[in-house]
Structure 1
Amino acid sequence: MLDIWPALPLFILDARYYPPTKGVDNTIAALKQRHRVCKIKFCASSSSDYENVWAAMQEPFPELADIMLMALEIDAGIPDSFLGGSAPGLRCLKLYGIPFPGLPKLLLSATHLVTLCLEGTSHSEYTSPDVMANCLSALTNLETLALEFEHLNPENRRPPPPTRSVLPALTNLEFTGDIEYWEDLVARVDAPRLFHLSITFLHHYQIAFDTPHHVQFISRTPRLEALEKARITFGDKTVRARLSSQTSGNGVLDVGIPCSTISTDEQFSCLAQICASSLPPLSAVENLSIIEDHYFEQYLQENIADRLWLELLRPFASVKNLYIHRESLPRIAPTLQKLVGDRTTEVLPILQNLFTGGSQPSRLVQEGIEQFAAARRLSGRPITVSPWDRASEQEGVTHPPRIVSIVRTH
């Protein structure tokens, strides 16, 4: 069929995983037209498929601008000779679970790259923070970066250099992996235009959340400072702290930890550490929302102790408006009820408004909230309790789409 078509640009979409077909003959035939190929999306479930495709991609593809490669539970690394080791016209590169030792060399040539996503990267595919920062320094047009490293980095950590690489165009950054790798990486880079930062720290149960380089990185990123809205979200897979702004001029900072394999006590402890040490100063945060998704209760392993709620709320000393989701209200109300006498302003000392979401709370929950409000009134710090109208909350900055997406077509 290639012989009867005009010499149009080619977009190679190999979707054999849905629905499955046999062989890669058509893909290889299209790859032979390397001067016409502008976009490639390829996924294979066998090493032989990848080896045949790599063999057809050893020379430069001068028109190639967009490439996505995915491995389905196979170990078929990309050879150093991939694309002839150079891709100056590449604008989007997404690799999922594919070893590529020659990636640093390719990135140094891909100076027009706008989007880079490296996910499912294991220990065997490890690229040190030094090398990664050096590669990123050449990508002056990079706007979106997603990195996922599934295993701990080696112990031979190096101190950061005296100067940092600048990513002048980067606006979206998503990182999933070891907290030590993240610390080493952000000690080596600046991203002055960064608007959206989403981090998921793995292996959190092994280390403390001591993140001085992360905090300094945030302080060098103007759009991530002085964010006024905070949201604590408890989900079935992660618990997250998210800061955003009432205005469109500032950005979104989202930090989370996986929670399906740890206890509720550990979840709260880790999240409290994040709020206290891994977020910007919370002095500008006046609005705090506490939300559960409907799957969280399935993973709730024990009752939530008062001390855990207090530890979590303590960093939010400037909050004036507290929004509590209907699922969270029965869990937090008993803790608020006990804040009487000298403990009345132990947390949330300048709170003015408490918004409760959902249907009419139970009698016990209602009594707990009323006692909390009465104690605040007696202390001279009265609060107003109102229903939480999500439509009128004025969310301000909405969460942008995930940086990485995979569209399956056939």
Structure 2
Amino acid sequence: MNIVKDFLLQLALVATLIFTFQTFFAEKLEKERENRNFIHALLLALAIVLCMSFPASVTSGIRLDIRIVPLLLGTLYGGWRTGLFLTATIILYRLYLGVDLGFYTTVITLIVSMPAILMCQKSFLHASKRRRINLALLLSIFYCFVGAASGSFIRGISTKFLLFNVIYMVITVAAVWSFISLNETIKEILLKNQRLQTAAKDAEISFLRSQIKPHFLYNSLNSIASLCIDDPKKAEALILDLSQYMKSSFNFKQMDTLTTIENELKLVKAYVNIEKARFGARLEVAYDVDLHLDMWIPPLVLQPLVENAIKHGLMTTLRGGTVSISVKNETGSVVRFAVEDNGSGMSATTLGEIWHADGKKQGTGIGLWNINQRIKLLYGQGICIESIEGSGTKVFFDIPVRPLVPIGG
């Protein structure tokens, strides 16, 4: 019964460490692959040390443990670096425990079996779930067979020794099957959850985009309509400019793709031209854009901010003012987008309440709330607002540099 308890203790220790990693670290560190692999290898090394520290003592000279479980999991899922690190952990800790016949058995077993495990690692990663389980079982049987053969060579063959190794092989194979199966199931659940989250995020972003395009059209056409009586020719020219932009902007085949800074600025300038024709000298626009920024950005992120600055910042005052549009590389890996006006600004109370009820209570329409939601969904951090009542408002956000690459092929 003590042997059963020892093996159950080892299984519990391995399970706790492995599934702690899957639950708390695997998904959170998906993008930080180096940190993820390091933590994974460290926890598996700890599992190996604990298994070797609490072995099942069969006789005074024979102690068995299931170190093969974390060793296989680490090597097959983590790659050769993790495999070599875990191998070194086993040898060094076994050396710390003492140089005896068991130490030599361990070294020989690892020298013979690890090359086979490493050779199968790539095939394992590209295999289906069933084939992964079968491959892991074959490798565990091979490891146990090598261990039994090396032990027989060093200690000599006896019926009791062979019987213990058969029992050990059964326990090891059962443990490997359980852990690989559970690990694959957890990976499937996490992947399914990730896909559902991505689908939900894409659906929300698409919904937000479907809001902002009609919103832009509605306000642009209203501005053009106000010119139809006073200056029909100018209104006609602006309609033609707007239609040319919409011809390329409403590309439904790429509804959910990113766009370039150049294309985004075309939209901004089309809108600014419409508003300048309407408000004349009261509206000035300044551009400070790094022309060498070749990167992908979400579409329709600047125009709503410019619209908000003009309508709610500048045109609420008789004097009007200037909107400054800045797109600059801040740190090499991050580009800052900023829209600033010297208009009426906002009070501290208005600034604190601007996110409530999607901003409509403050008269800002869906622009600020919409952009904030989209940026937060895509990059984890929304927009920032700095405003002083009577002096103006600055809205800015950062986007990681994503170099231009061909889309769809």
Q: Aligning the two structures, in what range does the TM-score lie when normalised by the shorter sequence?
A: under 0.3
Larger Rg: 2
TM (normalized to structure 1)? 0.24
Structure with the larger helix share: 2
The structure where strand makes up a greater share of residues is 1
TM-score normalized by the length of structure 2: 0.24
